[in-house]
Amino acid sequence: MRRARFSASGKSHSGLVEGDVLLDERGRMHRFADVEWLPPVAPTKIVGLVLNYREHADELGLRTEENPILFIKPNSSLIGHLGDIVYPATATHVHYEAELAVVIGKKGRRIGKKQAMKHVAGYTIANDMTARDFITNTFRPPVKAKGFDTFCPLGPWVTSADEIPDPHSLELTTRLNGNVVQHGNTSMFIHSIPEIIEFISEFMTLMPDDLILTGTPKGITPVHPGDKIDISIEGIGTLSNRVVADGQRKQN
């Protein structure tokens, strides 16, 4: 099945467990464990923020700026929950970056802060994988550092905006092989979601399903083939992926 939408009677997505049965958009039942997880949205563009947590900037020895620092990831970097992250053969320093992803629901250009949240459909979890071999000392990430295939795990699903009353107060935790390596809260954002939407939409039309990656807290460390990364965000759920060597990814 492809990009099916699921529901679970009486439960929000964040409450689902492995034994649950899901209904797709046609009313067909599927066991949770049998579902092939695809990216929950198909964006026209993925826009990310650099250094939106001050402690992350401090751990990198970099200064934040008055306006958001942006980068773009290609759509080909997307994979779903439980998909394999390919460790590029040309890289030696690959890191995870756990992020709250904002899903745009309404087209807009030059959106003011007061109207910004009306353009948000919901939220999901992103892992902004980065090959730091290709980042210059100016920390303006080139496409190559962020854009390898499989470098944007996303999911498991989109939680609608009405289920998250305050996206600026969510706990975020990353586990690497079961060990907690990142723990933060979106209350630590330097730039709020309305500020980010206003800044981006001043020069770029935002379209339904477009993604905004809101930055990562401190605690990034290198990963290697064989590692498992689990990212949990309060009110959404857990995104899990394994890192595999180049050429070892399972082809669907």
> For the whole model, what pTM was predicted?
0.88
**Higher per-residue confidence, 136 vs 156:** 156
Partnered with residue 183 across adjacent β-strands are 173
In the structure encoding, which two tokens stand for residue 146, read together?
């962020």
Q: Which of 47-51, 110-114, 152-156, 204-208 comes out lowest in average pLDDT?
A: 47-51
> What ranges in the chain are assigned the alpha helix state H?
54-60, 113-116, 143-146, 193-201
Would the pLDDT of 62 be above 90?
no
Q: Pick the residue with more confidence: 63 or 47?
A: 47
For tokens 């899903």, the residue is: 103
DSSP strand pairing (94-95 vs 46-50): unpaired
Q: How far is CA 24 from the centre of its chain?
A: 23
For the record, the structure tokens of 41 come out as 């949205």
Q: Which residues have CB under 8 Å from 104's CB, separation 6+?
A: 119, 120, 121, 206, 207, 208, 209, 210, 211, 212
Structural domains of the chain sorted by starting position, each given as residue range(s) with its CATH number in brackets: 1-35 (no CATH), 37-245 (3.90.850.10)
Q: Looking at residue 68, what is its pLDDT?
A: 87
The mean pLDDT value for 94-112 works out to: 97
> How many CA atoms, within 13 angstroms, populate the side-chain half-sphere of residue 101?
34
The candidate with the shortest Cα–Cα distance to 213, out of 238, 187, 237, 186, is 186
pLDDT given for residue 4 in this prediction: 41
Residues 6+ apart with CB under 8 A from 185: 169, 170, 171, 172, 217
Q: What DSSP element (H or E) covers 95?
A: strand 94-95
Q: Which of 60-64, 238-242, 248-252 has the highest mean pLDDT?
A: 238-242
Q: Nearest CA to 103 among 50, 152, 49, 42?
A: 42
pLDDT tens, position by position, 184-240: 999 999 999 999 999 999 999 999 999 999 999 999 999 999 999 999 999 999 999
pLDDT in tens, 25-40: 677 777 777 778 899 9
Average pLDDT (107-124) is 98
Q: Classify 53 as helix, strand or coil.
A: strand
Which pLDDT does position 141 carry in this prediction?
A: 72
pLDDT-derived band at 11 (thresholds 50, 70, 90) equals very low
